[in-house]
Structure 1
Amino acid sequence: MSLFIDQPYWPGHGRLWAHLISDSSFEELHQFAGSIGIPRRGFDGDHYDIPADRWSMVVDRGVTPTDSKDVVRRLRAAGLRRPKHLR
């Protein structure tokens, strides 16, 4: 499994959010998100938005914590980065 999550620093809807990504495939990402009860509507083109209160649970399930710059770098290196205007 090659899944990563940044810190929940991103505000929205009165909460803080993190970004869950795969550096190998969207299929892997969708399967994992579904297995932890994250709805498909949480998918934002190249990542899932994860609320801060679920961050620890995601990490406990084996996802590697990292920083936001690394998330973008990994998505680009894997060819999975989708610019915001194309999402």
Structure 2
Amino acid sequence: MHDYFEIICMRLSHVTVTLDDGKQHSGIAQNIVKLDNNEHLVLLENNKILNIPLNKTETLEANNNPIPKHNFKVIFN
């Protein structure tokens, strides 16, 4: 799981993340940080920084990136 997030951050990929409560967030992956002993994806969404807990992520989709091979979808759990 962690490797997918590292890759999207390295590439500054455009992603859509679906959380286990059904909420979706789309933006540019920036970094992975540790907050309260949990890893979070730092996502730039509409010029706002969001910290999205990796352990609450159900789906990660890299989309609309200029290199087609950099677009993928992963379903966790």
Structure with more strand by fraction: 2
Structure with more helix by fraction: 1
Q: TM-score, normalised by structure 2?
A: 0.28
Q: TM-score, normalised by structure 1?
A: 0.26
